[in-house]
């Protein structure tokens, strides 16, 4: 595990100023969420651990060393102390960052009940030094130590004794603060997620392309993984073709180096993606792509949602819910005349294949057995034809009852992007509110529909005329002889 992790998200440059002049004997620690969508979280909690206490020191406190030498800034100022029985005492002694000088009278063994604390080097009196010391304290936290203030959230002022504090968050970020009504504002430290579908509408059997974009900040806590949760609607079937592009590189299958797929997780998700942050040292953008087939379980004109979100420790993003729809229309068949109740007509819709269900016909998906192109409609029956994306389709009556006139042409069905359905106008066709009604009249089949009609009479008549002409010419020649 790395000792120096880039996880300091709440760092104040002045926090390492030991012995700063403080005029109060109680203080508050307040943490505010920063501006921006991913600055802070309502779920994040903080713990504040008091490392050092304050001490009002007198001139020539020990061995001729004054308050000013301890960084108090004046001989009547404040400096920091730590008791020998503090759980942090040995952590401080083992570090190279501090110098301890005994306060008061030494015991027989040469030790003191309490020690003054100063920086071993003025080079540490910087924001970078504060970061280093913060990480040291975090990594060497004594066993069983309890926070001075525990589990507080952003926006609430916590009353604490003046001192020097390690502040940790449930996300791993930390600060050290010399408290005197300190207000800390979180920086932009949380991963973000966005989720999109390529289009708004699809037909049954189509593969819907989805894209998940995750941005991991540079100062992510490298001990905590980021987990992406993806939950498909039941009518969508994951095609198990997940790929990832890292910082704009060519998309590749997940290998587990940075991100790995968890299929069939214990929760309600279809799958999860675990992003390992151990090697992330700069802001990293991961773009995940996959497809899901829209199955024939889909109802028409219904919004199907693919929900995705990520969690990072106790931080959870607001779910992204791109929605897709599929459309339908109604088809009614009417036969005129008596005894038409049992009659049927057959239609096709372009090259679409269907399966029949209780409401009509739905476009077949790749797993449906024995699909058919035929849509069979009984007299006075209305069937729903669904599972269609926006676009233009050709409706053809391929077969009708004997003795009835079939349609003289095809019907163009147009579905707009908002689901509005219109039909081309033909004789015997009417439409309203997404429904097309096709009427067949009974009677003699007209010649133009393919019977011999009057053609044979034209042929016989032509033969007779020609024959009469031949006879007439022949007689004239005989008379002239």
Verify that 46 and 149 share a domain, yes or no: yes
Tens digit of each residue's pLDDT (9 = 90 or more) over 168-179: 877 666 677 666
Q: Are 421 and 434 in contact (CB under 8 A)?
A: yes
Please check whether residue 221 lies inside any domain of the structure: yes
Verify that 218 and 317 share a domain, yes or no: yes
Please check whether residue 212 lies inside any domain of the structure: yes
Confidence of residue 22 (pLDDT cuts 50, 70, 90): very low
Verify that 311 and 213 share a domain, yes or no: yes
Confidence of residue 430 (pLDDT cuts 50, 70, 90): confident
Verify that 273 and 142 share a domain, yes or no: no
* Mean pLDDT lowest among 59-63, 243-247, 455-459: 59-63
Verify that 142 and 276 share a domain, yes or no: no
Please check whether residue 19 lies inside any domain of the structure: no
Location of structure tokens 């604490």: 160
Whole-number pLDDT of residue 61: 39
The Cα–Cα gap between 296 and 245 comes to 31
Verify that 228 and 310 share a domain, yes or no: yes
Boundary of a domain, candidates 284, 300, 323: 323
Max mean pLDDT range (11-20, 363-372, 422-431): 363-372
Whole-number pLDDT of residue 267: 80
Verify that 203 and 181 share a domain, yes or no: no
Whole-number pLDDT of residue 11: 35
* Mean pLDDT lowest among 232-241, 285-294, 373-382, 429-438: 429-438
* Mean pLDDT lowest among 52-56, 114-118, 143-147, 191-195: 52-56
Three-state SS at 172: coil
pLDDT(453) > 80: no
Whole-number pLDDT of residue 451: 44
Tens digit of each residue's pLDDT (9 = 90 or more) over 279-304: 888 889 999 999 999 999 988 767 89
Verify that 399 and 461 share a domain, yes or no: no
Whole-number pLDDT of residue 141: 92
Verify that 335 and 415 share a domain, yes or no: yes
Greater confidence, 59 or 379? 379
Please check whether residue 110 lies inside any domain of the structure: yes
Whole-number pLDDT of residue 287: 96
Please check whether residue 21 lies inside any domain of the structure: no
Greater confidence, 171 or 111? 111
12-31 b/e with 16+ CB inside 10 Å = b? beebbebbbebeeeebebeb
What's the whole-number average pLDDT of the chain? 80
The Cα–Cα gap between 4 and 150 comes to 25
pLDDT(40) > 70: no
Q: What is the mean pLDDT of residues 115-140?
A: 85
Q: How many domains does the chain have?
A: 4
Whole-number pLDDT of residue 415: 93
Please check whether residue 357 lies inside any domain of the structure: yes
Greater confidence, 58 or 140? 140
Whole-number pLDDT of residue 172: 65
Tens digit of each residue's pLDDT (9 = 90 or more) over 203-228: 999 999 999 999 998 878 788 899 99
Sequence-ordered alpha helix ranges (H) in 140-206: none
Verify that 434 and 480 share a domain, yes or no: no
Whole-number pLDDT of residue 70: 37
Boundary of a domain, candidates 274, 295, 323: 323
**Domain of 382: which CATH number?**
2.60.40.10
Verify that 168 and 45 share a domain, yes or no: yes
Tens digit of each residue's pLDDT (9 = 90 or more) over 346-397: 999 999 999 998 889 999 999 999 999 999 999 989 999 999 999 999 999 9
Confidence of residue 459 (pLDDT cuts 50, 70, 90): low
Please check whether residue 266 lies inside any domain of the structure: yes
pLDDT(447) > 60: no
Among 156, 219, 148, CA closest to 183 = 156
Range of the domain at 349: 327-448
Q: What percent of the chain has pLDDT over 90?
A: 39
Of the CA atoms within 13 Å of residue 209, those in its CB half-sphere come to 6
pLDDT(42) > 50: yes
Max mean pLDDT range (47-51, 132-136, 472-476): 47-51
Confidence of residue 465 (pLDDT cuts 50, 70, 90): low
Boundary of a domain, candidates 323, 356, 376: 323
Whole-number pLDDT of residue 236: 95
Whole-number pLDDT of residue 477: 58
Whole-number pLDDT of residue 157: 87
Q: What is the mean pLDDT of residues 121-130?
A: 82
Please check whether residue 144 lies inside any domain of the structure: yes
Predicted TM-score (pTM) of this structure: 0.64
**Domain of 294: which CATH number?**
2.60.40.740
Greater confidence, 296 or 475? 296
* Mean pLDDT lowest among 105-109, 271-275, 339-343: 339-343
Q: What is the mean pLDDT of residues 24-52?
A: 71
Verify that 397 and 479 share a domain, yes or no: no
């Amino acid at each position: 595990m790395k000792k120096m992790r880039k996880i300091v998200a709440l760092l104040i440059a002045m926090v390492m100023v030991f012995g700063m002049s403080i005029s109060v004997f109680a203080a508050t620690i307040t943490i505010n969420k920063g501006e921006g969508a991913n600055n802070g979280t309502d779920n994040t909690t903080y713990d504040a651990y008091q490392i050092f206490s304050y001490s009002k020191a007198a001139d020539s406190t020990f061995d001729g060393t004054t308050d000013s030498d301890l960084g108090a800034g004046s001989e009547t100022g404040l400096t920091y102390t730590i008791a020998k029985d503090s759980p942090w005492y040995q952590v401080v002694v083992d570090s190279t960052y501090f110098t301890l000088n005994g306060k008061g009278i030494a015991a027989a063994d040469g030790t003191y009940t309490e020690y003054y604390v100063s920086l071993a080097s003025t080079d540490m009196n910087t924001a970078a030094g504060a970061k280093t010391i913060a990480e040291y304290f975090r990594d060497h936290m004594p066993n069983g130590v309890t926070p001075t203030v525990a589990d507080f959230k952003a926006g609430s002022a916590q009353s604490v004794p003046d001192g020097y504090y390690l502040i940790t968050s449930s996300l791993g970020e930390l600060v050290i603060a010399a408290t005197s009504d300190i207000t800390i504002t979180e920086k932009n430290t949380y991963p973000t997620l966005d989720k999109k579908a390529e289009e708004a509408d699809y037909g049954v059997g189509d593969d819907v392309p989805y894209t998940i974009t995750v941005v991991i900040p540079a100062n992510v806590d490298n001990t905590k993984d980021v987990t992406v949760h993806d939950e498909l609607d039941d009518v969508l079937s994951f095609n198990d073709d997940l790929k990832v592009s890292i910082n704009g590189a060519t998309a590749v299958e997940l290998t587990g180096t940075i991100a790995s797929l968890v299929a069939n997780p214990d929760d309600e998700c279809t799958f999860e993606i675990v992003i390992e942050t151990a090697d992330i040292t700069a802001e990293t953008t991961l773009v995940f792509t996959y497809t899901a087939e829209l199955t024939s379980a889909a109802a028409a004109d219904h919004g199907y949602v693919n929900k995705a979100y990520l969690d990072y420790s106790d931080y959870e993003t607001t779910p992204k819910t791109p929605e897709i729809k599929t459309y339908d229309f109604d088809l009614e068949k009417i036969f005129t005349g008596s005894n038409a109740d049992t009659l049927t007509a057959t239609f096709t819709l372009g090259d679409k294949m269907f399966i029949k269900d209780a409401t009509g016909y739905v476009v077949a998906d790749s797993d449906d057995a024995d699909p058919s192109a035929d849509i069979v409609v009984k007299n006075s029956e209305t069937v729903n034809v669904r599972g269609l994306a926006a676009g233009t389709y050709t409706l053809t009556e391929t077969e009708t009852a004997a003795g009835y006139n079939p349609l003289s042409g095809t019907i163009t069905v147009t579905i707009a992007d908002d689901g509005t359905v219109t039909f081309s106008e033909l004789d015997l066709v009417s439409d309203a509110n997404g429904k097309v009604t096709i009427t067949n009249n009974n009677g003699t089949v007209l010649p133009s529909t393919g019977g011999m009609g009057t053609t044979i009479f034209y042929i016989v008549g032509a033969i007779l005329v020609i024959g009469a002409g031949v006879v007439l010419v022949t007689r004239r020649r005989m008379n002239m002889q």
